Amino acid sequence: MAEDEVFNYEEGNEQDNNVWDGYLDIKLRAVDPQQFNSREELLDHLFKHWILIDDGRMSFSLDRTTRKKSFMISARELSIAHGNNPQYWEWESTTKSRFREVARLVWVYWLDVIGTIPLNMLTPSTTYAAYLVFSLTNNAFGLDTKAMEGQVSINNEKHETRTVCLLNPQECRHVKHAEKSRLRDDGWIEVKLGQGFVHGGEVGTFEMKLTETKELWEKRGLVIQGIDIRPVAIKEQSSLLNFASLPVVNVFAFLSVCCFVWFTVK
């Protein structure tokens, strides 16, 4: 998106006002608080940039498509099995990351990475997806196992579990029905761990996991920047062929017309 792109601020008026009203909380948590003179100036900034909050352990922005809250949880804020043991994980600084540190996997058999965010931080009535944001070292190994799973739970209730493959799609062909990774605009890689619906008004947590605790192969070379939590855009349903949205009478009428046309052409 071009830096000078103009946003239509009238589209989400009530929602945008909520962002403006709620910015005080974000400002109090920001590492480098910024002053905005208008709602439009604030929104324009958050659509294009992220803000570090909570002592630099999380970032906040607005999704450009849905105009809803997005967060990235840093690796330091995640619960990583053996994460504080330098025999298994090392913590490094890199200018490529928005956070001070990233976690580099030296080697493990048991891979278990968990992130949580309070439900009241997310936009109500919204489906959120979680993405592991990572890179791979040249000696990455053992990250293409079919037992690698991503999972999203809300208040300990599983909403989705899926097989994920962290290597490039060509190297993941043998892992059937696996969620493939993709390159992000910022140069990092991401893979979708799952998604879940946030109703609003709930007390509890939105939890995301990456696990491989079944086959227990040796793994190494994974570099974790964090987990991205962002709203899922609602795709418009396509027209007449979406039978689920048609009344039964209309479905029969549609099929009758199709049969008539087919026999006429024949």
pLDDT reported for residue 69 = 92
Q: Which helix (H) or strand (E) holds 11?
A: none
pLDDT reported for residue 80 = 98
pLDDT reported for residue 153 = 97
Instruction: Return the DSSP state at 219.
Output: B
Q: Is 26 in contact with 53 (CB distance < 8 Å)?
A: yes
Residues whose CB falls within 8 Å of the CB of residue 18, separated by 6 or more in sequence, listed in order: none
The 10 Å CB-count burial string (b at 16+, else e) for 203-216 is eebbbbbbbbeeee
pLDDT (tens place) for every residue of the chain, 266 residues total? 333 333 344 445 555 555 555 566 777 788 887 777 777 888 888 888 899 999 999 999 999 888 899 999 999 999 999 999 999 999 999 999 999 999 999 999 999 999 999 999 999 999 999 999 999 999 999 888 888 999 999 998 988 899 998 987 777 777 778 898 999 999 999 999 999 999 988 899 999 999 999 988 899 999 999 999 999 987 632 333 343 344 444 544 555 555 544 445 45
HSE, CB side, 13 Å, CA atoms: give it for residue 87: 5
The amino acid sitting at 114 is: I
Q: Provide the whole-model pTM.
A: 0.80
Instruction: Return the DSSP state at 218.
Output: -
Q: How far apart are CA 18 and CA 77, in angstroms?
A: 27
Q: How far apart are CA 107 and CA 141, in angstroms?
A: 9
Q: Is 212 in contact with 161 (CB distance < 8 Å)?
A: no
Q: How far apart are CA 7 and CA 11, in angstroms?
A: 9
pLDDT reported for residue 72 = 98
